Chains A and B, each alone.
Chain A
Amino acid sequence: MGTLLSEHERTTLVDLLRVAFPHDRFPVGPYQRTALAVVDAAAGNPRLHGLLLQGLADLDTQREVGFSNLDVETAQLVLRGIADTPFFTAVLDVAIVALYDDHEVWEILGYEGPSYDKGGYIDRGFNDLDWLPDPRIESWIDSTVDSTVDSNEEAPA
């Protein structure tokens, strides 16, 4: 499905996402794929499409230079200024799901994704944390009460 967004607007969207979700460790790829997810979502959704067209155009008029040419602090300020607009919240809504569902992002964050086909983690470190002692796993037996009596006791009326 098509989009009415220009090349420039799509670049602006990528830059918006980089400012809205600022991770030093993320390369541009995940942001580009997230922008694509937003554009795709708008393809069949006139409301989102309209918000994007107008919102991205507006973004460029906030300062003397276009959004993509702003330094990070100014760009953040600009976003804070539009944080409550339907445009920005609609972009966030789609983007937060897409960005953190990106497998390259998972890898950077240290998440290993599907595990069942690899036999789970039973032999692959489900309990490999070694900076704390191994704790008790059995139930605690309270020696001050007789637990068999306790479980049959009626409520105090």
Chain B
Amino acid sequence: MTRFEYDDSDVVVVVGSGAGGGTLANELCQRGFKTVVLEAGPHLTGPDYENDEWKAFAQMAWTDPRTASGSWEIARDFPNLPAWIVKAVGGTSTHWAGACPRFKPHELAARSVYGPLEGTTLLDWPITLSELAPYYDRAELKMGVTHRHGRPPLPANNNYKVFANGAEKVGYRDYATGPYATNAEPFDGRPASIQDGFNFQGDKHGSKWSTLVAELPKAEATGNLDLRPDSHVAQILHDADGRASGVLYVDRNGTMRRQRAAVVCVAGNSIETARLLLLSSSARFPDGLANSSGQVGRNYMRHTTATVWGQFDKPVRMYRGETMAGVIADESRLDTDRGFVGGYYMETISLGPAFFAKFVAPGSWGTSLAEIVDGYLNTAGMWIVGEDMPQETNRITLSKDTVDANGLPVADVHFDDHPNDVAMRRHGRQQGTAVYESVGATRTIQTLPYPSTHNLGTARMSARPRDGVVDRFGRAHDVPNLFVSDGSVFTTGAAANPTLTIVALAIRQADYIATEFRSTAR
């Protein structure tokens, strides 16, 4: 295992080892950069993972305190759990499901296409789809995305059979079992899925792409990776010229460490990325690092989501097989005649009884809940995920009264739905209900959004420094050797699940860093 000196100021420090940070680290190591990855969570691997929802959650989820405020239901139902993010090597790419749609051309020009929607801070991305397309190719190739570049599709599981038949019945055409970054057949040294149904719990088999199983081992093999788990970064430090000089972190023994750096890249997943920038304030940067625009933490997006369940008079057994392995894309089209801008996808989802009962109707009990749970075996599920509107007041701030175990103020996540989000969610629920009713559902259930699994926009890309936090390569407008390398940089959210785009942007950022900074490895 490679170790670099704390005082080695040639290294690139990457904060977070998830989809963004883990990919960037590998790409930098391949290009010869000495790379130190600081990951707050432990280094768990497949054999450690639990085939059990609550155990897996307790083992891996970020359960350090956070607070929630605003009118979203999450602030009422899950006030200390605004988001589901993993704190472990591999980050949330260990729990993700693997859905990999690309952005559509108009989704990178949301302000131009949707117009000035009241209450939003819509802005065009400073990049176009044709600039991104080659990086999407590279991301799909490395992740082994099904349905792309000749990779075979996943087979239909029970949940998909209900979903796809319903889609066909209501007249949808654009449905399939992917694209997903899970192997239908062996690829890249990893085996094919055995359909164990524990994707959200870390996929013990390693069939699903994650930075834990795919990126970090390759980075390690270059000899350029120094991966430090159980290392929580508390502050990014800067020199007299306003350049990032390194980071202060707390290691697994509680010892304070300073790692010097030539470049610092932050990929803590939007909430923690914004928190870290805000915590890194100084005399020169009184409102937080890279925050002269006041945009750090603002425009927080989480996708407009909902779940629709259909219950039938025959068994479904949705829990058998891939947790998510089905996409209906018809509603992701550009079509503002539906009463809202933006589009959404429908994707199969399955939960075990433990999560199902907890999340299906938060706060409910009595016969209404019992009847729903009694129908578990005969239940099919779909998740709706669509573009939500950026708003200035949807925002990560530092809590004024709650601190974590290190005494650092925790993130408060404030969110109010925009009327466009509400209209889209209503439409999605209606359509999802129609899908299940068309194949004979005797009951349909509409579930509120879960704690956010997609967290975006808190350090957004902008052409003009005053509109955002980073430039078109994710480089901070204010600090030339500070990069943001996760979904925080999303200017707008698009309908697509974000990870493929996070990975594509990380590869692109690595290319850019390699041209701007000399590679430092031996």
Contact = CB atoms under 8 A, between A and B. Distances in A.
Interface stretch (A50-58, A60-68, A127-135): A127-135
B194 A155 contact: no
Contact of B353 (A111, A139, A142): A111
Chain A contact surface mostly: loop
B442 interface: no
Contacts of B316: 129
Interface size of B as a range: 35 or more
Interface in B304-353: 314-317, 319-321, 352-353
Interface stretch (B7-15, B212-220, B364-372, B425-433): B364-372
Interface in B376-392: 376-377
Interface size of A as a range: 35 or more
Interface string A107-144: 00111111111011110111111011111111110100
A41 interface: no
A81 to B, nearest CB: 13
B198 interface: yes
Nearest to A155: B109
A111 B350 CA distance: 12
B190 interface: no
Contacts of B377: 109-111
Interface of B: 51-54, 102, 105-106, 108-109, 112-113, 128-130, 133, 147, 153-158, 160-162, 164-165, 167-168, 173-178, 193-198, 204-205, 314-317, 319-321, 352-354, 356-358, 363, 365-367, 369-370, 373-374, 376-377, 439
20 contacts: A79-B366, A96-B365, A100-B354, A111-B319, A111-B353, A111-B377, A120-B193, A121-B194, A124-B320, A126-B155, A126-B158, A129-B315, A135-B168, A137-B153, A138-B176, A139-B176, A151-B102, A152-B133, A153-B129, A155-B106
Closest 9 CB pairs of A and B: A120-B194, A110-B377, A135-B164, A120-B196, A114-B51, A126-B321, A155-B109, A100-B357, A126-B195
Interface of A: 20-23, 25, 76, 79-80, 83, 92, 96-97, 99-101, 105-106, 109-117, 119-122, 124-129, 131-140, 142, 151-157
